[in-house]
Amino acid sequence: MIGAQTQALIGGKDGRVMAVQFKDGSEVPADLVVMAAGIRPNTELALKIGLHCGPQNRGGIVVNDTMQTITDPRIYSVGECAAHRGIAYGLVAPLFEQGKVCATHLARVGIGRYPGSQVSTKLKVTGIDLFSAGDFLGGQDAEEIVLSDPVGGVYKKLVIRDERLVGACLYGDTVDGAWYFSLLREGCKISDIRESLMFGQSHIGDSGHEGQSRAQAMAASEEVCGCNGVTKGAICRAIKEKGLFTLDDVRRHTKASASCGSCTGLVEQILMFTAGGDYSAAPTKKAMCGCTDFSHDDVRRAIRTPLPDGTRLLSIAAVYQALEWRNPTGCASCRPAVNYYLLSTWPRETVDDPQSRFINERAHANIQKDGTFSVVPRIWGGETSAAELRRIADVVDKYRIPTVKVTGGQRIDLLGVKKEDLPKVWRDLDMPSGHAYAKALRTVKTCVGSEWCRFGTQDSTRMGKELERALWRMYAPHKVKLAVSGCPRNCAESGIKDVGVIGVDSGWEIYVAGNGGIKTEVAQFLVRVATHAEVLEYAGAFLQLYREEGWYLERTVHYVARVGIDSVRKRVVEDATNRRALWERLQFALDKEPAPWSEPLRAGVDLRQFEKLAV
Residue-wise pLDDT tens digits, 595-606: 999 888 888 888
Burial class from Cβ neighbours inside 10 Å (0-12, 13-18, 19+) for residue 391 reads: middle
Q: What is the pLDDT of residues 494-522, one digit of tens each?
A: 999 999 999 999 999 999 999 987 778 89
Among candidate residues 142, 141, 144, the one with its CA nearest the CA of residue 155 = 144
- Return the DSSP state at 573: I
Half-sphere CA count of 396, side-chain side, radius 13 A: 16
Domains 360-429 and 441-591 agree in fold? no
Top mean pLDDT of 123-132, 274-283, 523-532 is at 523-532
Please compute the mean of the pLDDT values over residues 423-428 and round it to a whole number. Answer: 94
Q: Apex CA 336: angle with CA 335 and CA 339, to 5°?
A: 85
pTM here is 0.59
Q: Apex CA 243: angle with CA 241 and CA 248, to 5°?
A: 115
Q: Which amino acid is at 561?
A: A
Round to whole Å and give the CA distance between 362 and 216: 51
Which pLDDT score is estimated for 469? 96
In sequence order, what are the beta bridge partners of 528? 509
Round to whole Å and give the CA distance between 480 and 554: 11
Give yes or no for residue 614 having a pLDDT over 70: no
Rounded alpha-carbon distances, angstroms, from residue 334 to 316, 378, 480 = 10, 30, 21
175 compared with 29, residue with greater pLDDT: 29
For domain 120-205, the CATH architecture is: 2-Layer Sandwich (3.30)
Which pLDDT score is estimated for 212? 44
Which pLDDT score is estimated for 40? 84
Q: What is the pLDDT of residues 440-496, one digit of tens each?
A: 999 999 999 999 999 999 999 999 999 999 999 999 999 999 999 999 999 999 999
Which pLDDT score is estimated for 207? 38
Provide the 10 A C-beta neighbour count for residue 577: 7
C-alpha distance across the termini of the chain, in Å: 40
Which pLDDT score is estimated for 202? 61
Please compute the mean of the pLDDT values over residues 296-320 and round it to a whole number. Answer: 93
Give yes or no for residue 283 having a pLDDT over 50: no
How are strands ordered across the β-sheet holding 403-406? 366-367, 373-375, 412-417, 403-406
Which pLDDT score is estimated for 588? 96
Class of 44-106 per CATH?
A: alpha beta
Contact 107, 117 (CB under 8 A): no
3-state secondary structure of 448: coil
3-state secondary structure of 318: helix
Domain edges within the chain: 44-106, 120-205, 296-353, 360-429, 441-591
Contact 567, 573 (CB under 8 A): no
Please compute the mean of the pLDDT values over residues 302-319 and round it to a whole number. Answer: 92
3-state secondary structure of 76: strand
Class of 360-429 per CATH?
A: alpha beta
Give yes or no for residue 211 having a pLDDT over 60: no
In sequence order, what are the beta bridge partners of 19? 10, 29
* Percent of the chain with pLDDT strictly greater than 70: 93
Round to whole Å and give the CA distance between 485 and 488: 7
Give yes or no for residue 205 having a pLDDT over 60: no
Which pLDDT score is estimated for 615? 54
**What is the residue-averaged pLDDT of the chain?**
88
- Under the banding of pLDDT at 50, 70 and 90, the label for residue 125 is low
Round to whole Å and give the CA distance between 511 and 47: 56
Q: Which amino acid is at 93?
A: A
Element (H, E) at 351: none
Q: What is the pLDDT of residues 566-579, one digit of tens each?
A: 999 999 999 999 99
Give yes or no for residue 383 having a pLDDT over 80: yes
Which pLDDT score is estimated for 386? 96
Give yes or no for residue 121 having a pLDDT over 50: yes
**Residues 534-571: b if buried by 16+ CB within 10 A, e if exposed:** ebbbbbbbbbbbbbbbbbbebbbbbbbeeeeeeebbeb
Which pLDDT score is estimated for 123? 67
Which CATH code, of 3.40.50.300, 3.40.50.720, 3.40.5.10, 3.30.413.10, is assigned to 441-591? 3.30.413.10
Which pLDDT score is estimated for 478? 94
Give yes or no for residue 430 having a pLDDT over 90: yes
Half-sphere CA count of 602, side-chain side, radius 13 A: 9
List the beta strands (DSSP E) in 154-303.
154-161, 164-171, 223-225, 230-231
Round to whole Å and give the CA distance between 229 and 231: 7
Among candidate residues 215, 184, 189, the one with its CA nearest the CA of residue 202 = 215
Residue 583 CA to its chain's centroid (Å):
33
**Do the bridges between strand 6-11 and strand 17-22 make them parallel or antiparallel, or are there none, so unpaired?**
antiparallel
Round to whole Å and give the CA distance between 425 and 569: 43
Q: What is the pLDDT of residues 56-96, one digit of tens each?
A: 656 799 999 999 999 999 999 999 999 998 888 877 778 88
Among candidate residues 174, 165, 139, 323, the one with its CA nearest the CA of residue 262 = 174
Give yes or no for residue 338 having a pLDDT over 60: yes
Rounded alpha-carbon distances, angstroms, from residue 279 to 253, 269, 301, 346, 448 = 15, 9, 29, 40, 57
3-state secondary structure 242-281: HCCCCHHHHHHHHCCCCCCCCCHHHHHHHHHHHHCCCCCC
Give yes or no for residue 51 having a pLDDT over 90: yes
Give yes or no for residue 276 having a pLDDT over 70: no
